[in-house]
Structure 1
Amino acid sequence: MGRKIVSGLLVSLDGVVDAPERWRFPYGDEETGAAPGLVDGEAEAVLPGRVTYEAFDAVWPYPNGLSGYVRRRFQRRPPTVAGASDTLGQAVRSGAAVVDGDVAAALRALKRGPGRNIDLSGSVTLTRSLLEAGLVDELRLLVHPIVVGSGQRLFPDGTGRVPLRLTRSATLSTGVVDLTYAC
């Protein structure tokens, strides 16, 4: 069957995935940071989109820049940045590589190759495009008990039908709900 692409996102109760650094911290503790919904512990490759990579890249080398789990991911697994070749050029930090050209075709080939899962975390635009292309195998959501009111949503108005099957759920002590869906 090959590798799976597993997308993990932080989501508000009203579906906002935009700028979680502005609303998630009342719920951000070690339990939430270690939740399976946020990161695929079995993943071998890390796949951020350009915007997510640039945000992580700006702070990851600094002691207080990124939380421990994100820092460990970047140190253990240099990322492959998708959809960035025209604006990012060569990713220089953390040994990152850039996917050029047809991102969907490149990721189809990567999925067929040997190895463990591919972790796609925090990249909303990339997650949407890979869902449309049928390339996301699991969608892991940490739904936070807060209504943000406005912002980018994972599934904006006009999104076509996206059939999902719940495969795991857990409620964390902060009230965050950890959900895993098969796509």
Structure 2
Amino acid sequence: MRKIIAGLHMSLDGVIEGPGPADSFERAGWFMPYFVPEIGAYIAQTGAESDGLLLGRVTYESFRSFFEGQGSHNPSAAMMNGTQKYVVSSTLKDADWSHSTLIQGDPVQEITRLRAQPGRNLNISGSLHLIHSLLPHGLIDELSLLVAPVIVGTGRRLFPEGFSTGLKLLESRPFSSGVLLQRYAVDNARQA
């Protein structure tokens, strides 16, 4: 069975909304002052350990507009353009960015089926609504959080109101910019 890993940029106060400058959030780009090449290398490594990316509509459209037109000279764009993408949306009519499959039915059922297939990890990037849909059903196996030393003050947070679960620390590693990688296994048996 594959693992589903949610990889997110997070502020010290738990905000995951708008880490990049292209996000439509009043404080968008708050993570960028802390981004260093070693973080890019870590993200590339996690991408290489997976064979698919789960995305919600908003993240899919944002990534597509940023990466699709870039050539192979940009390694991040080459990886994103070549990665199998599974897009969960009830409003998109098609997902025609290269290597994209649209999931329009019950996302819990479809992602349970994908997770049961043989293969490497399935990663989630951004896609807060999708993460909130999957967490209560025990479909997120690991959280890979890049926690920046910044208080954003407002914005959407990782865990939905009322959600609780146990976590097991897998790795904790600082980066030179002060960002702390915190990897946790989600203890789906301890969800309340």
TM-score computed with the length of structure 2 as normaliser: 0.85
1:37–1:142 contact (8 Å) kept in structure 2: no
C-alpha change, 1:52 and 1:174, in structure 2 (3 Å) is: same
Deviation at 1:40, TM superposition (A): 4.4
1:38–1:121 contact (8 Å) kept in structure 2: no
TM-score computed with the length of structure 1 as normaliser: 0.89
State the AA in 2 paired with 1:101. Answer: G
State the AA in 1 paired with 2:53. Answer: V
State the AA in 2 paired with 1:133. Answer: H
Report the 3-state secondary structure (helix = DSSP H, G, I; strand = E; otherwise coil) of the residue aligned with 2:68.
coil
Counterparts of 1:168 and 1:41, CA distance in 2: 18
C-alpha change, 1:155 and 1:37, in structure 2 (3 Å) is: farther
Unaligned runs of 5+ in 1: none
Counterparts of 2:183 and 2:60, CA distance in 1: 23
State the AA in 2 paired with 1:171. Answer: P
Unaligned runs of 5+ in 2: 21-28, 187-192
Work out the percentage of aligned pairs sharing the same amino acid.
39
For the aligned residue pairs, the C-alpha RMSD in angstroms reads 1.9
Deviation at 1:61, TM superposition (A): 2.4
Q: Which residue is equivalent to 2:141? A: 137
Q: Which residue is equivalent to 1:167? A: 170
Alignment of 1:1-183 (within 5 A): 2-21=1-20, 22-35=29-42, 39-63=46-70, 68-69=75-76, 71-82=77-88, 84=89, 86-156=90-160, 158-183=161-186
Deviation at 1:100, TM superposition (A): 1.8
Report the 3-state secondary structure (helix = DSSP H, G, I; strand = E; otherwise coil) of the residue aligned with 1:136.
coil
Counterparts of 2:65 and 2:47, CA distance in 1: 23
Q: Which residue is equivalent to 2:190? A: none
Q: Deviations over 1:92-127 (max 9, x none)?
A: 112311012110011111111111111111111111
The higher-RCO structure (CA 8 Å, 6+ apart) is 1
State the AA in 2 paired with 1:77. Answer: T
State the AA in 1 paired with 2:83. Answer: R
